[in-house]
Amino acid sequence: MRRRTPRLNRKPWDTSGGVPARARIAVIRAEYNEEITRSLETKCLEGLAEGGVGRDQVDCFTVPGCFEIPLVAAKLAALGCYDVIITLGAVIKGDTLHFELVAQECARGVMNVALEQGVPVIFEVLATRTRQDARRRAGDNRMNKGFEAARAALAMVATMGRLEEEATCRSTSASKRR
């Protein structure tokens, strides 16, 4: 049996092998707190482009708020044509429990989509105490969480591709032994 040597020197977002030209990426952006979420989306698209993803490989969708993200993510995942889904939003703490409810249920919903559909869902919905904190995380720099979401998405496309190759390799090996 062939054993693979782990690539220990590789950063998790390293896509030096390139992103397949067939890779399809969906980006879902909540419109609520639009100044912040637009910045996340802009940097996310820049990060994807830097990673070698063509604009024609990315479809962008908007939803009114973060609570609606999981439903759209589920519909997109069920289509079976996206390799990864990126979710972008901002929930800022107010005087009620609404903040906790929306942030927690959005996170739970997108995790359920990923686990049930087998499609990676990158969760970059900011949950901050203040608008200033949200602006800092969505700044016009490489620390912008949208840029980080793009890197995570590229890493997951690469990882899922390697897993598919491994499954094919194992399937081929098993059929040869029969």
Which residues participate in catalysis according to the annotation?
98
In terms of Cβ atoms closer than 10 Å to its own Cβ (0-12, 13-18, 19+), residue 73 is: buried
> Which tokens sit at 99?
């903040």
Cα 21 from Cα 69, distance rounded (Å): 27
Cβ-based neighbours of 71, under 8 Å, separated by 6 or more: 63, 109
End-to-end CA distance of the chain: 15
Rounded to a whole number of angstroms, the CA Rg of the chain reads 18
